[in-house]
Amino acid sequence: MSGYDIKRELTRLDWLTGTISFGSLYPALHALHKEGLVTVDVRAQQGKPSRKVYSITEDGRQTLEQWINHSTGDNASTRAFVMRLMLADSHSMTGLITQLQQRRAQIITHREALKQNAGTAGEGVELGKRLMLDYGLVLANSELAWLDSKLDRLLQQPLASEGIRGD
């Protein structure tokens, strides 16, 4: 894709992925190119600046896979998790399962922390805090349910190597 394409796609999925400005996207792309993680295919156009279509290199793919699997354990960020989900095709099925399991562990930890907060507070707590904790709890439980259903399905099939099917 081109930088412009990437931005468009990110903007479309803004809610899930977040987006970045061109001011940081273009320089980032230049850096990746300099490091040899992507190649550029310059396609001239009349009237417009030439489209620069980037493709990932083997080196880049390796670096990416490294990133996907580097210490998800401590790193929380929902955004990073969504990114890893989106890149599911780039890692093995066991890798994907690991991602989901790690996320599951994180959410459980998080949920326990919330419960503890709610418990400590008791009844004298302000409406705001109660609302917030309830909100967090509900969302955590929904996400857990989702993770469990996905994990169930993925663990059922005796890893068919390349025949992963999500629905």
Q: Which residues bind its own copies (CB under 8 A)?
A: 12-16, 76, 82, 85-90, 110, 113-114, 117, 126-132, 134-136, 138-139, 142-143, 146, 150, 164-167
Query: Smallest gap, in angstroms, from Cβ of residue 34 to its own copies?
Result: 27
Which of 14, 34, 48, 158 binds DNA (CB under 7 A)? It is: 48
CA-to-CA distance for 16 and 22, rounded, in angstroms?
19
Measured from the CB atom, is 8 or 153 closer to DNA?
8
Which of 2-10, 72-80, 90-98, 111-119 is the region at the interface with DNA (rule: CB under 7 A)? 2-10
- Assess 71 for contact with DNA (CB under 7 A): no
Nearby residues of 128 by Cβ (< 8 Å), 6 or more positions away: none
Scan residues 28-47 and list those touching DNA (CB under 7 A). 28-30, 45-47
Query: Smallest gap, in angstroms, from Cβ of residue 77 to its own copies?
Result: 10
- 52, 7 Cβ separation under 8 angstroms: no
Cβ-in-10-Å burial (0-12, 13-18, 19+) of 45 comes to exposed
- Assess 120 for contact with DNA (CB under 7 A): no
CA-to-CA distance for 159 and 141, rounded, in angstroms?
27
Q: In this structure, what are the phi and psi dihedrals at residue 162, rounded to the nearest 5 degrees?
A: -120, 0
Query: Smallest gap, in angstroms, from Cβ of residue 39 to DNA?
Result: 14
* Amino acid in the structure at residue 145: A
Query: Smallest gap, in angstroms, from Cβ of residue 83 to DNA?
Result: 12
Q: Produce one character per residue of 94-133: b if its CB has 16 or more CB atoms within 10 Å, e if not.
A: ebbbbbbebbbebbeebbeebeeebeeeeeeeeeeeeeeb
Q: 82 contacts which partner out of DNA, its own copies, none, CB within 5 to 8 A by kind?
A: its own copies
Query: Smallest gap, in angstroms, from Cβ of residue 161 to its own copies?
Result: 13
